[in-house]
Chain A
């Protein structure tokens, strides 16, 4: 009889155990279902064919679509306060963690990006010659003038949070003799079968292990870009659609009227580009002193710089949203710097998963996606 009691208890507790298993199964169901369904099989294509298709697709214009883009960065910035002090919508926040970006794309000059934060949202709405930047946090609507080419230009101003298209273009540009290219036709991104282009640097001193670029199997729209660092199995940087539909989004998305009570400002693109006061001039000056060493994946940029330069603008930005964050990041980076010296001189090295920087005591900044050794080598080649 007590045997039966034991059996009864086993049956009863089997229910919650089964429930836990079911929930765990549901969490892991994505990969399982994908495995059951098998890999999507697309017609085989060589890298060249695929690139041609992609270029052709790009030339004929991207189809109207909408979707959600997830950007994940784990750049391994040392000592970065990942959550504290990082506003959800500030650009510096994109350096760490995961961020969601909603995209509605109606055509070349009709699109809307929304960067949702907790109880806040930043929107960029472009509709023909109308362009608005809406920041709910500050209840401020900014009308951007000269928005004819607003889209592309503005995107360049926000390098981290752009659509996969732009990031992919950049990656395609870099494909050259120093890169091994392979193609697979069994990827699945945002529920759609996709081709995946894998670009592997041939130079061993590059910190980049490989760059994976997923192109939609039907429209050849880039759906995902992943940058893998040599030091980690997970991508150091990833941007890709988590859901996407290739149907024209509702026209409401592209209209914007500043709400009652909101501050309305007008700015030109030039204004937006020169956010840090004097940045424009400084950028010009930097451009003048910029040289590069090496080429391809292991290009090292050399600029004249000093620690003071780095701190200065960051502090001046302090009163602007996001400026505080930039200062925090800068401080954290400088704190983690490691003193190095050699035949070339001495300086400080900052290393992340993807990028190394060397600040020499003689006032040069060397930056590249390479090992610190490569940087010191470049520093020696004056």
Chain B
């Protein structure tokens, strides 16, 4: 099995080029349960960083620690180059966040709710509040529902309002916990577009998700959590490259095919139902094909399998990963 786990991200990437850096970040709850175990994250500036993992793998606890909501029991972390939690007041104004779903005052309108959160930020300029709130609502497509009470919002509208709250000010970093939860396919597409647009403006976006497809479509980097531990992290292309390309032969002559593949020097030869596969390595598929034909194997089909992220994750997390949502 491959390991792309980078125990020392600062060695590969200078800390000042990262929006988020954690070193050995650990959270052990009073119950003794270790929610996050010695996490070393390095989120490059300007990246769209997918934070993947099954439910309960410690993603939300990590995000809560990053935002100073939960005190780590060990380790250190930096946001935008500032050591935390000392820099909380100075840094968090430049960080937009969506944590574990939307939370608003039901008896206030969407606009009044945003004004409330804006008032809590000491760095927010009250003179520009109305303009910024209007812009944020506009960006998530809630301008028309701005005066409606939050109580009357649909699930999707609530999620959008939470994203709008994260976009209230000029942000250098967005931390979005499951941003497409509760959205219909159309809404999901819109949010994905919004994230790409924000990232294009130079803002780092840290997106947690248990949906592989979502991450695959918009992220430049990913990290994978499994039961509180980081099992992989890096550029999405690099992770794919880590997994071996395999050649798959459909044939009735299983034993002969396996023998030819082994004789051609391929590793990991596996015999399945009506097919035989092996790691292709650096070999050219056409050479293998020729060898099979020469060996008298009835080749009904031949395929070169590039690894999908799904394969990578199932391999890494080793369990039923909710890949389809």
Residues of A whose CB lies within 8 Å of any CB of B are: 1-2, 5, 8
List 13 contacting pairs A-B, 8 Å CB cutoff, sorted by A: A1-B24, A1-B26, A1-B72, A1-B73, A1-B74, A1-B75, A1-B76, A2-B28, A2-B73, A2-B74, A5-B71, A5-B73, A8-B71
* Size of B's binding interface in residues, CB under 8 A: 9
A8 to B72, CA, bound (A): 12
- In the bound complex, residues from chain A placing their C-beta under 8 Å from that of B76 are 1
Q: Give me the 10 closest cross-chain CB pairs, A-B, nearest first.
A: A1-B74, A2-B73, A2-B74, A5-B73, A1-B75, A5-B71, A1-B73, A1-B72, A2-B28, A1-B26
- In the bound complex, residues from chain A placing their C-beta under 8 Å from that of B72 are 1
Nearest CB to that of A4 among chain B residues? Answer: B74
Mark B51-75 against chain A: 1 for CB-CB distance below 8 A, else 0.
0000000000000000000011111
Residues of B whose CB lies within 8 Å of any CB of A are: 24, 26, 28, 71-76
- In the bound complex, residues from chain B placing their C-beta under 8 Å from that of A5 are 71, 73
- Report the minimal beta-carbon distance from A2 to chain B, rounded to whole angstroms: 5
Extra contacts besides A1-B72, A2-B74, A5-B73 (10): CB < 8 Å: A1-B24, A1-B26, A1-B73, A1-B74, A1-B75, A1-B76, A2-B28, A2-B73, A5-B71, A8-B71
Nearest CB to that of B75 among chain A residues? Answer: A1
A8 to B76, CA, bound (A): 15
A5 to B26, CA, bound (A): 12
- Report the minimal beta-carbon distance from B275 to chain A, rounded to whole angstroms: 52
CB contacts between A and B, total, < 8 Å: 13
A198 to B72, CA, bound (A): 67
Interface of B is mostly: strand
- In the bound complex, residues from chain B placing their C-beta under 8 Å from that of A8 are 71
- In the bound complex, residues from chain A placing their C-beta under 8 Å from that of B75 are 1
- Report the minimal beta-carbon distance from A41 to chain B, rounded to whole angstroms: 56
Nearest CB to that of A6 among chain B residues? Answer: B73
Nearest CB to that of B73 among chain A residues? Answer: A2
A8 to B73, CA, bound (A): 11
Nearest CB to that of B25 among chain A residues? Answer: A1
- Report the minimal beta-carbon distance from B242 to chain A, rounded to whole angstroms: 32
A377 to B82, CA, bound (A): 92
- In the bound complex, residues from chain B placing their C-beta under 8 Å from that of A2 are 28, 73-74
- In the bound complex, residues from chain B placing their C-beta under 8 Å from that of A1 are 24, 26, 72-76
A318 to B28, CA, bound (A): 72
A1 to B24, CA, bound (A): 10
- Report the minimal beta-carbon distance from A302 to chain B, rounded to whole angstroms: 76
Nearest CB to that of A1 among chain B residues? Answer: B74
A2 to B38, CA, bound (A): 13
A1 to B38, CA, bound (A): 12
- Report the minimal beta-carbon distance from B65 to chain A, rounded to whole angstroms: 12
- Report the minimal beta-carbon distance from A8 to chain B, rounded to whole angstroms: 8
- Report the minimal beta-carbon distance from A4 to chain B, rounded to whole angstroms: 9
A2 to B74, CA, bound (A): 6
A5 to B27, CA, bound (A): 11
A313 to B71, CA, bound (A): 75
- Report the minimal beta-carbon distance from B43 to chain A, rounded to whole angstroms: 21
- Report the minimal beta-carbon distance from B183 to chain A, rounded to whole angstroms: 38
Nearest CB to that of A9 among chain B residues? Answer: B71
A225 to B24, CA, bound (A): 72
Nearest CB to that of A3 among chain B residues? Answer: B74
Nearest CB to that of B28 among chain A residues? Answer: A2
Nearest CB to that of B76 among chain A residues? Answer: A1
B26, B28, B73, most chain A CB atoms within 10 A: B73
A8 to B75, CA, bound (A): 15
- In the bound complex, residues from chain A placing their C-beta under 8 Å from that of B71 are 5, 8
A8 to B74, CA, bound (A): 13
Nearest CB to that of B72 among chain A residues? Answer: A1
A1 to B73, CA, bound (A): 6
A2 to B71, CA, bound (A): 10
- Report the minimal beta-carbon distance from B176 to chain A, rounded to whole angstroms: 28
A246 to B150, CA, bound (A): 69
A149 to B28, CA, bound (A): 83
A178 to B309, CA, bound (A): 107
A89 to B90, CA, bound (A): 62
Nearest CB to that of B26 among chain A residues? Answer: A1
Nearest CB to that of A8 among chain B residues? Answer: B71
- In the bound complex, residues from chain A placing their C-beta under 8 Å from that of B26 are 1
A2 to B28, CA, bound (A): 9
- In the bound complex, residues from chain A placing their C-beta under 8 Å from that of B24 are 1
A5 to B76, CA, bound (A): 12
- Report the minimal beta-carbon distance from B25 to chain A, rounded to whole angstroms: 10
